[in-house]
Each structure stands twice: as structure tokens, then as C-alpha cells.
Structure 1
Amino acid sequence: MTERSVYASQPKQRPITVPKLHHATFMTLDVDAMVRWYELVCGLQPVYYAEHAAWLTNDEANHRIALLRLPGLQAPVDKPHTAGLHHTAFEYATFDQWLDNYARLRDHGILPAIALHHGMTMSLYYMDPDGNGVEIQVDAWEDWTVSKEWMWASQEFAEDQLGPQFDPEKLLAARAAGDDFQTIQRDTYAGKYPTDTPRTDPALPDVWPGRLAAEPGLRDGVPGVPDVEGGVITFENYEN
């Protein structure tokens, strides 16, 4: 007897029309610092910007990142080793755009905490002011269909989901020497451009000890409690 599909005996597994990922929301102690960073790094600009919240976008959506400075919020403790969101990711359409952005951010003093060739993407991981990971990537195969198939079928990814660390400066040099993207990405995955300072801890670094030392007032967190009037929560009347 032919085995029947799971759909023949079980309720429908998912809706026919599936939702798309729209935005991520972060709790923050400093809305201004986060707005400045995301504008510089990812081109996100606020659609609505208030003292205790901001909604930012870099495309046609009304927002892609939301920032909330809520009453009672405290600084995290050992953020890299607690459960929660590891990072959000942004993708460039071309290798040149991606690598040019690395150089632009480097010139602003913003460097990735780690650079990884995952096999399906080449990825630079940055830390925002609150210690959230932000991945800036480019598809290694220049085609989502191809990279998805590689990720699903390749023995390489089955054995190593992180991939080799690399030095973006060496990629800039290879491009300047005339190598094209596919040559560079294959050489990078083969380990030709290793970093001189590899990370041994897969967790992203913790920015908070240094930030609290520089800004001791953040240890107090956000004072106050939200006002609730007629079932509507507002944040207008708590101490700044």
C-alpha cells in the first residue's frame, strides 16, 4: 500500500497564505544612541521618533526596527549567555555593496566582532550600542534558490554550520587585485583569508561592562511606571 501524505490524515499544517517577517522590537535604555547607530550602519531612519520610543525603516514598510524605553527597564546581566534573540540580519544585493559598506563603517570606527563565511552567506556580525548582534550579509551564491539548495544538501554545512572566520581587509585586497566575487568567496570558504585574531567563543562579546563603566547612570535603569488611563497605557508622566 502506498504511504499516504501527512496532509491526508492530519489537519492542515499551516495557512495557505503565510505571514512575512515584518519587524523586530528592542527594549533600550538609550533611544538616541540606538537611532544614531542603526541609521549609520543600516540606513534606518525614524518614521516616528519620541523620547522613549522610535520606529525606524529603510524600505517601503512603516517600520522594520522598533525601539522602546519602558519604565522599569534595567541593564542586562551577562547578555551574550542568556536566552533570547542572538541577532537581526540585513542583506546586500551585491558583494561590492556589502564590502564597500564594511569599508565605510570601518572608516567610522565600527568594526565587526566576527566575520564568518557560513557557506550560503558571507556575514559580518556587529554589536549595536545595547549589545544586540546585527549581521550584515551577502548571499555567497548570488541566488537564494542556489544557496538554499546548498544549505539543504551540502555535506559541508552538515558538518560545520559556522564556517571559517576571515579578515575583511584581505577581501578588499583581493578585490583590488582583480579577483571577482565567486573567486573571493570560494577562496574565503577554503580558508585563504584567515583573521589574525580569531574568536574562540562562539558567543558575541558583552558590551555592557564597558558601557556601564563609561555611563554609570545606566545602572539605575529607566525610572517610573506606565500610566494607565481608561485602559490605555501611556508613558508621558514618569520621571526622565
Structure 2
Amino acid sequence: MTADQSEYFRTPKPRPIIVPKLHHATFMTMDVDAMVRFYELVCGLQPVYYSDFAAWLTNDEANHRIALLKLPGTRPPVDKPHTAGLHHTAFEYETFDQWLDNYVRLRDAGLLPTICLDHGMTMSMYYADPDGNGVEIQVDNFRDWGLSKEWMWASQEFATDQIGAQFDPEKLVVARASGLTPDDIHTRAYAKEYFPAEPRLQMTFNDPWPARIAAEPSLADGVPLPPASQGD
């Protein structure tokens, strides 16, 4: 441990006196329409305001949870999977059945997760949006944030392995149909009984930008800047 490490690394559970709640995430994008379609399909986010250059989306009582900005000068990322920055945002279902039904719905719409992980406190499926950002769709294995938080804090399992076990979601669909309970399925998934035939080797998402730029070379120039104002 070094002096420049975060207070949150050095001190158990420090808390500000009054804490704000996470409200929304904002993404720079070069295709508002594609991003709106994706987040509406995957997370049920619908626009509160929608234009050619921006959109603010929500799926609950908040005025927005995701904001999308197509600002002049925005350029494609370079080697996105291997650069520092956002890895993913996450959305949570209340029940296991809702969560697994959502997988089936998206599968039938032609959208499959990039990687599926039982982290111990959650079971999570990770999708990639059109810009290559990750979106985690999860369900809490404890059905209680207090219990899952304490498991993360205190368990030897999480101290040893923060990633967990990969699983094949189709095997979960079969297991549920056979009558297994969510707890049974989680226990077996965490024990790697539903391990995929072709596991993902890296926890990164594929980079969509080389193919997008090859198909539309003008994307490499970025979002055009507004014309410079003319003086008298």
C-alpha cells in the first residue's frame, strides 16, 4: 500500500456525511439513432428529448438515465477495447425470471451477449452497444443489496476471484425449464457447471470502429465542425 492510493483503498468503508445518488451516464457518439435503438431494445430506455445531435433517455421516473451527444468535432476512438475509459454501464432486474426472460427476448431479436458471468453477488450478461461500450444486464443473487454488499466485502470467494464463472445462457434456459430454482441455477453456474463450450478469453468487447470506418470512410473525419463565423 502506498501513500498515493485512494482513501477508499486505504480506509474501510469511508462515507461522506451526505451522499449523492448516481443519476445518469453520458456518451459521446457519432450515431444518435443507432444508440437510441439499441438502448430502447436492450434496456427499455425511451427518449425524453430526441434530436439529430442529442438524446436524453429514461426507463423510470428520472428525467433521464442515459444521455447521448453528437457534438461537433467528435471523432472515432482508436483501439477502444484497450484504452482507458468506460467499460460498461449496468442495469438490474428485480427477479431471476425477468432477467432470463430478457435474454430470451433479445436472443429472439437477434442480439446475443458478448460474455456471461456469475460474479457471485450477481449473474450478469454483457452486451456491446453500436459504439463498442458494454452494457451489463444483471440480477442480484441474494435479492438483497445489503446481503450482496456484505458478501462482496467479507467473502473469501470474492477476495480470491472478482470475475467469477462464465456461463452459457442457453443452459440456464434449459435448467429453468427442468424445474431448478434460481438459487440452484446460481450455485451450479458459480461452480462452472454451465460453462460455455467456447469461453471468452478476454473481458473486453470487440472494437466495431475499424469495420464501421471501412464501410463509411468519412467517419474517420469525425462530426463536422460548424462553419467559422465570417467577420465584416
Quote the offset at 1:15 in angstroms: 4.2
How high is the sequence identity, in percent, across the aligned residues? 72
Other-structure match for 2:217: 216
Where do 5+ consecutive residues of structure 2 fail to align?
1-13
Deviates more, 1:211-220 or 1:142-151: 211-220
Alignment partners' CA distance in 2, 1:159 and 1:78: 30
Other-structure match for 1:180: 181
Other-structure match for 1:117: 118
Quote the offset at 1:221 in angstroms: 1.4
1:26 aligns to 2:27 (yes or no): yes
Other-structure match for 1:49: 50
Quote the offset at 1:200 in angstroms: 1.0
Alignment partners' CA distance in 1, 2:198 and 2:211: 20
Other-structure match for 2:39: 38
Alignment partners' CA distance in 2, 1:24 and 1:164: 28
Which structure 2 residues correspond to residues 218-237 of structure 1 after superposition, within 5 A? 218-225=219-226
Query: What do the CA deviations read for 1:164-184 (whole angstroms, capped 9, x no partner)?
Result: 100000000000000010000
Query: What do the CA deviations read for 1:210-231 (whole angstroms, capped 9, x no partner)?
Result: 2223333322210014989xxx
Equivalent residue letter for 2:98: Q
Alignment partners' CA distance in 2, 1:128 and 1:213: 19
Other-structure match for 2:140: 139
Alignment partners' CA distance in 2, 1:144 and 1:215: 45
> Aligned pair count?
216
Other-structure match for 1:75: 76
Other-structure match for 2:96: 95
Q: Larger Cα Rg: Structure 1 or Structure 2?
A: 1
Tell me the SS of whatever aligns to 1:223. Answer: coil
Other-structure match for 1:104: 105
Normalising by structure 2, we get a TM-score of 0.89
After superposition, the CA RMSD in angstroms is: 1.6
Where do 5+ consecutive residues of structure 1 fail to align?
1-12, 229-240
Quote the offset at 1:14 in angstroms: 5.5
Q: Any conservation in 2 of the 1:139–1:147 contact (CA below 8 Å)? A: yes
Which structure 2 residues correspond to residues 169-208 of structure 1 after superposition, within 5 A? 169-208=170-209
Q: Any conservation in 2 of the 1:72–1:225 contact (CA below 8 Å)? A: no
Q: Any conservation in 2 of the 1:71–1:226 contact (CA below 8 Å)? A: no
Normalising by structure 1, we get a TM-score of 0.86
Alignment partners' CA distance in 2, 1:70 and 1:53: 8
**Change beyond 3 A, Cα 1:99–1:221:** same
Alignment partners' CA distance in 1, 2:101 and 2:216: 32
